[in-house]
Structure 1
Amino acid sequence: MKNPLRKRYKREIKKEWLKNLSLFLILALVIGFVSAMFVGNESMMKALNDSYEKYNTEDGRFQFESELSSDLKEKIESYDISLYEEFYKDCSQDNDNDGEKDATIRVFKNREEVDKACLMEGSLPSTDSEIAIDRMHADNNDLKIGDTIYVDGNAFTITGLISLPDYVCLYENNSDFMFDALSFNVAILTDAGYEKIDDNEKFSYAYKYDETPSNDTNAKEKAEDLLENVVAEVKACYFDSTLGNENNIVDFVPAYLNNGINFAPDDLEGDLSMSYILLVVFVIVIAFIFAVSARNTIHKEATTIGTLRASGYTRGEILRHYLFVPSLVTLFAAIFGNILGYTYLKNVAVSLYYNSYSLPTYKTVWSVDAFIYTTLIPVVIMLVVNFLVIVSKIHMDILNFLRGNLSRSKRSKAIRLPRWKFMKRFRLRIMLQNAGGYLILALGLFFVVFLLTFATAMPETVNKYQKTSVEEMFANYQYILKSTVDENGKEITTDTKNAEKYSYTSLETTEGVRVAEPIGVYGVLKDNDYIRLSKDLSENEVYVSSCYADKFKLKVGDSICLKEKYGDETYDFEIVGIYDYQGALCIFMDNDAYNETFDLEEGSYTGFLSDEEITDIEDKYIVSVIDEEDITKVSRQLDHSMGGMMGFFRVVLVIVSALLVIVLTKIITERNSLSISMVKVLGFKNGEIASLYIMATGIVAFVSIAISVFLANILMAQVWRWYLKTMDGWLSYYLSYASMLKIGVLAFVGFVVAALVCFKLIKKIPMTDALKNME
């Protein structure tokens, strides 16, 4: 015989359609988003993992001052590696031939052995006037196949869009805080096309181990041993002219430390963890909403349940009855969410990744993890939470159900309220009687506010950094020279007005929140007009930039120890001041002390600071020029990658907030339906009743949002600091008071909608309910 209770399911779902639909939509949206992230993520990860072998990704790279002699190359390859030339030239890219630089483009000859290009669209170049460029850069700059770009004045026709396995993230330098797909590009040319470009060539060599490292630990050990051996061989070559030309190591990046290779997969893995946490928290909150609703229903139907229990129904049958609707709604939300995830939302997730990274082509793969995490786990969480909350009520004695007394505690006196006016005391009593529901409301609002804080603080922090970094620039142009003497041995100088010499190198941290963090070291002339230090510095005394002090919690009087990048030499410095500069982690010292510290000749320098462009120094002597475009590339890239998504995220959160408040306000109103009916009998009008019950909920919502905005800001600042400690560079967290107010207003929008819904519910509650339940 079928259980007659099953006939109630349809009626209950129809009666509670607004609550069920609202929770269904929240769950479906969250599950759909997380499912899309899992599917898109795993598809991308498989494509990346396959690409390492398919395109023969390097195990690391060296960059030298000049091309290796055959003898030195042979000695280096004796350490169980093979070297491959990946020489490149950094050039100026002009997209429309207007004479203005639109980007920096790094051009390579076609790679046929290591780091082979993944052709996304079109074909590789076959003549000296054709070029294949990075797909993501092309998308960001509205470039397409058939367009013509100008590389150092040479016209090239775009024939293909590519992804290079060592430039999945377009890092111009591995030490950069952020990649730059807007104003940095990589490209492939034919040998003849490469030779057409007259620019400084960089001598980069990719290497592959004869025996592939088994894991990152093994790769780290092999890389350290390799570097030590190569340094020794290069030094021997440098001092022994019989071994070849003099040379130096400019850069060394093993694959496991290469941001261009690893940043994207690391970020993809982090996205999965955050998506899963988001799903679990949302499901738990909604499960408690269902549980609170079920408890209220049990209170209303206590006598009916008592009658059923007296008629022979077991506790298990009653329990399963109240677990059915939450489980059904969750299951259908999971199914619908997964359909969304594998169709429309999957494309959204993939487009977000392709908008940020130069990923290879992929094929959608069925994700078992996506099914488990987005279908089975939400249903299990819903069942467990509702079981734990409902089971305590179901285990009451039959007599208590028949009497409508479901309280386990002895009847106690009502809490004495302050001597306020009647309406205020009434509202306070409503809040106390519905404390459990209001607690769930407060927790749900805090979670929404926290996510809104993230979606608002991210772009605001980026915009703040962009503004302050430009304002705090030392000079409009910062030139770093390859050599301070020309080919005739004459010192390189400039007639540019107000140009001043300075020195620069890079060291690494040896302790603190992040070891091996690159730290810039500036040697500054006394009375410098660009970097103004408030007092003269003696040997080993330094100023540290404010962002360096912020990240590493440094203060005046502290000592810091830095080491050279490729070697064991360490340097100790004493902090005598904090220099207000957010652009980079760096220290400032007197230039004479700089030269003495690094064993340089008196009066040595490495470049010029100038507010005007220097035109009387030949390009072949210039390593790089840092201008406003370089300073702001972090903020531009973050804004491009995250800006649109954050706006979409805020809209979704406002909708979720509104649905959440509507559901909880409706539950609280329905729980008090008998009291509302009674006050109607006493002559209160609908508007007055709304001012009691809806206003009480409004006060709770307002206070919860106000506290949540304050706490979420503090928590987000700590989360921000914790996350950036794991990365090179620093962005100081920032959220304005105006934005905090905006977050509060957005979160409160849900209550305004909920108030209108609940006012209609109040009007529908008849006075006969109170007369039917006289005790």
Structure 2
Amino acid sequence: MTPLARRLPRELKHNLGKYLGIFLLMCGSIALTSGFLLAAHSIGCLIDGMRDEYAIEDGRVTTSFEATDAQAKAAEDAAEGVGGVTLYKNFSIDAAIKKPAGDDGTKRTLRTYAHRTEVDLASYCEGAEPQADDEVAIDRVFATNNGLAVGDTVELEGRAYTICGIMTQPDSQALFLDNSDFTINTVTYGVAEVTDTGFAALEDAGGAPTYTYSFVFNNRGLSVADRTDAEKDMVDALTDADARVDDLIDADSNQGIGYARDDVDGDSVMWTTLLDIIIVIMAFVFVVLTDSTIEEESAIIGTLLASGYRKCEIVLHYLTLPAIVGILAALLGTALGVSVFTEPMRSLYYGSYSLPPFHVFWSWEIIVKCAVVPAAALILITLAGLLRKMGKTPLQFLRHEASGKAGTKRGLQLPERIGFVSRFRLRVFLRDLGNFATLFVGIAFASLLLLFGLAILPTMTHYADNLETSLVAAHQYTLKAPLELEGTAEEREQWAALDRLQSVDGALLTAAEDAQDELDDAADAAQAAAEAAMASPSAASMQAASDALEEAQDKKDALYARLDDIADALGCDRDEIIDLIDDASDIDADNDDIHPVNTTDNGAEKIAQAEKYTVYQLQYDRGEGNGVETVTIYGVSPDSRYWKGLGVGDGRVVFGRGLLDKFGWRQGQKVGFHDKYEDKDYSFEYAGDNSAWGSKSDMNVYMSIDDFNELFGNDPSYFNGYVSDEELDLDSRYFAGDTTPDDMRAVGDQFIGMMSDLIGMMVGLSVFIFLLFMYLLTKAVIDRGARSISYMKVFGYRDGEISHLYIRSITLCVMAALLLSQPVIIGSLTAIFRSMLLAYNGNIEIYVPWWSIAACVGIGFATYLVVALLHTRSIRRVSLSEALKVQE
């Protein structure tokens, strides 16, 4: 063993705390990152394979009413140019769910489907698919968050169902109540499956079906452009066939399908970046500590160089321990991440996303990224620092000039009026300026992580408060088509009759209409034959009249048979069906100015306080490949009692402040929006601050209802929503949704629940980084001043007085770093939030309350106090003999 190699164990023992701290931080960071990346990689591979394994749709189209066979055929024919497409009924009912035992009254919704066997196939992790009409299978995440298990009984729309299975649906990997929502909701919203008969029972119980048709292209390798063109053609075909299209969502735009994968990919980049930052900071800590060691052992290095040792040998010697520590930390951290931390990291996602059973997909790229790259980066940066430091002559090392320029070093002349204590502390600071600069960076980085963890809950609570207050009424109803609240009893009876008739299979009604037309034609023919026989009696004419009458009777029997089919479907008799048809026929269906009338009378007071509005969604291109923002366009009354102070009318457009805060539009700027359903572009001008309204979470655009209908080419009397402070009873056939403040609050609560585990991890990691950075870098200050501390002991200074001089200097620098870094951190957090959330719908305003800043400073300083106690012990251990050592 060479003489230099013999020094390594002594150096490791002498600096055990320093190397142990660096080892723990690097090993822990790599373990967490490698565990996460392997879990994320495995989840990504799992999601990628779901498209074929579970027959995930290529898109879906939603119509206001059930499409006829002819309308569905028209849509399929429109895609013949790209190889064809198949439409599948994927109807759902947003059923209110209650737990008979222990229900807390919270509004919960299960989007319930009839069991699917051709597209979007469910994956069962427990139990089995529903077989009986009173069985239901529910989503795994919703079941977990609500304490439900197989065998429990729940109520859907007031009807009892037994949970027979726990499953996940591939088109609801992320539980979004609405595709434009900002975040998932796994507490009050979930998905479920029942049998076909069970689905019909929910509809009979008052559940309003959503008529969704999932489609799968025969050529699943279509480019996005070809697929988009085909989908537009399908919508056009449906519209031309008199079907009212409410929504079109391509699989790539469906957050229920793509959000989980995007989140995993985004988090992977964030974790990799975090690891890179920690490794770079660790490398610079190594450089600072190695510099301190070289300055401390400057005379020894000079002697070695003068004795014939080459610089490369000395560089290799001082690089050995950092390299060994770095390599061991990288290898052990990666091994721990793969074997121990993959499962906890998987749980972070499986607690939020509905995914099939997990299994690991191995990746050598992750091993290289987490083991090889960090160790190599640490070694190279440390080597660069050593080479820079070793660029001195042996004589310079012997004269302790390794840290400065050649010649005698002279301290900075300080004013005489400054007291001894202040001058001493200032000398300590100036002498170790590099260490303190690195300490500032480390404290700022740890404070950034800590403040992010402390501020995320207040930020999301603030966001939820904004969402809750952004609703202008207790209920914001959306409709599939205009529905008048006001009407006479006779009108309600007529529309009730039509609604009841239209609730049966459209094929039955079509068959009845065809039979009526055939009967009318047969009756006309019989009358004509009878008149001809009377005008010219003959055996032939009499036979013709008889045949015509017989045919008319057959047509009448056929009509009655069709009416009996409708009666059987509605559970009544033929006479009642005829009465319903008579009532419905009184409606002037050809008059476009006549809207359906709600069949339930809500009362004069409720009707009077309800207010009509119009709503539609357009897309805004965020630019730079960040996708499109879904923006809701509202048409409201200029003198609205709910949207107070909005000031719309006469062509004036008002923008929500969230849009302005997120995109930074300038006064006079023309803002372009696109209608993906009609393939039209619209442009609105931002007129300045006087045309902004709402909170920074308001992502809407407002105009008068007249301007809205004129812009979108609607009938002047068109509307598709009500705002109301009173609960309204609306016909399920026209009802689309009801948004309440509780729904908005649930969004914030859900996000808080999702982040709680991650927040604890970030706070713990931040405190650990605080502790290590402060200890390592401030220890370098103590070690560098060991000779001065020894001199002071010789001159009679007590340990407490010396600590007062040294520790107080470090304390002031730490406090200054904690306080001065806060504005930088808040600005960095704002920039990070903007860049992270730019590609997502909505606008979250970073909200950092004073107490979180105080907590960040307090936790940082409390952590330093622990370090200061350790340094006080180090000062006591400095011996008097240090002052007697020869300098040269």
Tell me whether 1:508 sits opposite 2:508 in the alignment: no
Contact 1:680/1:767 (<8 A) preserved: yes
Contact 1:665/1:697 (<8 A) preserved: yes
* Deviates most, 25-34 or 724-733: 724-733
Equivalent-residue separation in structure 2 for 1:608 and 1:135 (angstroms): 35
User: How far off its partner does 1:99 sit?
Assistant: 9.5
SS of residue matched to 1:213: coil
User: How far off its partner does 1:142 sit?
Assistant: 1.4
SS of residue matched to 1:504: strand
CA offsets per residue over residues 165-190 of structure 1, 9 Å max, x none?
11100112211121211111111112
Distance 1:490 1:203, change over 3 A: closer
Equivalent-residue separation in structure 1 for 2:363 and 2:762 (angstroms): 24
Alignment partner of 2:879 out of 741, 762, 766? 766
Tell me whether 1:551 sits opposite 2:635 in the alignment: no
Alignment partner of 2:693 out of 558, 576, 579? 579
RMSD: 2.2
User: How far off its partner does 1:515 sit?
Assistant: 6.6
Equivalent-residue separation in structure 1 for 2:316 and 2:453 (angstroms): 40
User: How far off its partner does 1:702 sit?
Assistant: 1.2
SS of residue matched to 1:378: helix
SS of residue matched to 1:480: strand
Tell me whether 1:426 sits opposite 2:430 in the alignment: no
Tell me whether 1:115 sits opposite 2:229 in the alignment: no
- After the TM superposition, which residues 15-26 of structure 1 pair with which residues of structure 2 at under 5 Å, given as runs? 15-26=14-25
* Deviates most, 343-352 or 434-443: 343-352
Equivalent-residue separation in structure 2 for 1:21 and 1:588 (angstroms): 60
Alignment partner of 2:635 out of 523, 526, 535? 523
Contact 1:290/1:386 (<8 A) preserved: yes
Equivalent-residue separation in structure 2 for 1:552 and 1:319 (angstroms): 52
Alignment partner of 1:653 out of 728, 744, 766? 766
* Deviates most, 505-514 or 24-33: 505-514
User: How far off its partner does 1:212 sit?
Assistant: 1.9
SS of residue matched to 2:180: coil
Equivalent-residue separation in structure 2 for 1:510 and 1:268 (angstroms): 25
- After the TM superposition, which residues 633-644 of structure 1 pair with which residues of structure 2 at under 5 Å, given as runs? 633-644=746-757
User: How far off its partner does 1:555 sit?
Assistant: 6.1
SS of residue matched to 1:517: strand
Contact 1:463/1:635 (<8 A) preserved: yes
Contact 2:618/2:673 (<8 A) preserved: yes
Distance 1:128 1:408, change over 3 A: same
Aligned to 1:201: 209
Letter in 2 for 1:643: S
Equivalent-residue separation in structure 1 for 2:413 and 2:306 (angstroms): 39
Contact 1:36/1:346 (<8 A) preserved: yes
Distance 1:86 1:472, change over 3 A: closer
Equivalent-residue separation in structure 1 for 2:104 and 2:884 (angstroms): 86
Equivalent-residue separation in structure 2 for 1:516 and 1:269 (angstroms): 19
CA offsets per residue over residues 328-382 of structure 1, 9 Å max, x none?
1122222332233123322210110111211221212333122112211121111
Aligned to 1:10: 9
CA offsets per residue over residues 664-699 of structure 1, 9 Å max, x none?
111111011111111222222211211221111111
User: How far off its partner does 1:472 sit?
Assistant: 3.9
Equivalent-residue separation in structure 1 for 2:761 and 2:277 (angstroms): 20
Aligned to 2:543: none
User: How far off its partner does 1:421 sit?
Assistant: 1.1
Alignment partner of 1:538 out of 649, 659, 668? 649
* Deviates most, 17-26 or 63-72: 63-72
Q: TM-score, normalised by structure 1?
A: 0.94
* Deviates most, 628-637 or 275-284: 628-637
Tell me whether 1:331 sits opposite 2:327 in the alignment: yes
Equivalent-residue separation in structure 2 for 1:526 and 1:46 (angstroms): 52
CA offsets per residue over residues 424-480 of structure 1, 9 Å max, x none?
111111111111111111111111111122212221110112223323430111112
Alignment partner of 1:290 out of 276, 286, 289? 286
Contact 2:619/2:676 (<8 A) preserved: no
SS of residue matched to 1:541: coil
Aligned to 2:711: 597
- After the TM superposition, which residues 160-175 of structure 1 pair with which residues of structure 2 at under 5 Å, given as runs? 160-175=165-180
Aligned to 1:610: 724
User: How far off its partner does 1:738 sit?
Assistant: 2.2
CA offsets per residue over residues 384-423 of structure 1, 9 Å max, x none?
1111111233343233334443245134542222331111
Tell me whether 1:668 sits opposite 2:781 in the alignment: yes
The higher radius of gyration belongs to 2
Aligned to 2:793: 680
Alignment coverage as a number of residue pairs: 760
Contact 1:662/1:750 (<8 A) preserved: no
SS of residue matched to 2:117: coil
Equivalent-residue separation in structure 2 for 1:350 and 1:313 (angstroms): 53
Q: TM-score, normalised by structure 2?
A: 0.82
Contact 2:72/2:238 (<8 A) preserved: no
* Deviates most, 184-193 or 427-436: 184-193
Distance 1:99 1:773, change over 3 A: closer
- After the TM superposition, which residues 304-703 of structure 1 pair with which residues of structure 2 at under 5 Å, given as runs? 304-407=300-403, 409-410=405-406, 411=408, 413-418=410-415, 419-483=417-481, 484-485=483-484, 486=495, 487=498, 491-492=597-598, 494-495=602-603, 496-497=605-606, 499-510=609-620, 516-533=628-645, 535=647, 537-554=648-665, 558-574=669-685, 575=687, 576-615=690-729, 617-703=730-816
Equivalent-residue separation in structure 2 for 1:531 and 1:632 (angstroms): 20
Letter in 2 for 1:525: S
Distance 1:428 1:397, change over 3 A: same
Equivalent-residue separation in structure 2 for 1:160 and 1:117 (angstroms): 11
Equivalent-residue separation in structure 1 for 2:609 and 2:478 (angstroms): 13
- After the TM superposition, which residues 10-409 of structure 1 pair with which residues of structure 2 at under 5 Å, given as runs? 10-78=9-77, 79=79, 80-96=84-100, 100=105, 102-198=107-203, 199-213=207-221, 218-219=223-224, 221-238=225-242, 247-407=243-403, 409=405
Contact 2:477/2:723 (<8 A) preserved: yes
User: How far off its partner does 1:58 sit?
Assistant: 1.2
User: How far off its partner does 1:314 sit?
Assistant: 2.4
* Deviates most, 692-701 or 549-558: 549-558
Distance 1:534 1:399, change over 3 A: closer
Q: What are structure 1's unaligned runs of at least 5 residues?
A: 239-246
Equivalent-residue separation in structure 2 for 1:725 and 1:770 (angstroms): 60
Distance 1:12 1:129, change over 3 A: same
Distance 1:213 1:499, change over 3 A: farther
Letter in 2 for 1:673: A
CA offsets per residue over residues 138-160 of structure 1, 9 Å max, x none?
11111111111111112111121
Equivalent-residue separation in structure 2 for 1:519 and 1:774 (angstroms): 73
Equivalent-residue separation in structure 1 for 2:281 and 2:44 (angstroms): 31
CA offsets per residue over residues 111-163 of structure 1, 9 Å max, x none?
21221111122211121121111111111111111111111112111121111
User: How far off its partner does 1:96 sit?
Assistant: 2.6
User: How far off its partner does 1:625 sit?
Assistant: 0.6
Letter in 1 for 2:653: V
Contact 1:175/1:518 (<8 A) preserved: yes
Letter in 2 for 1:478: Q
Distance 1:391 1:273, change over 3 A: same
Letter in 2 for 1:607: G
Contact 1:465/1:635 (<8 A) preserved: yes
SS of residue matched to 1:343: helix
User: How far off its partner does 1:500 sit?
Assistant: 2.3
* Deviates most, 400-409 or 53-62: 400-409
Q: What are structure 2's unaligned runs of at least 5 residues?
A: 485-494, 499-586, 588-594
Aligned to 1:241: none
Contact 2:657/2:694 (<8 A) preserved: yes
Equivalent-residue separation in structure 1 for 2:98 and 2:706 (angstroms): 41
Contact 1:38/1:369 (<8 A) preserved: no
Equivalent-residue separation in structure 2 for 1:318 and 1:557 (angstroms): 67
CA offsets per residue over residues 509-557 of structure 1, 9 Å max, x none?
445667742222222224322111254x333202222212222324665
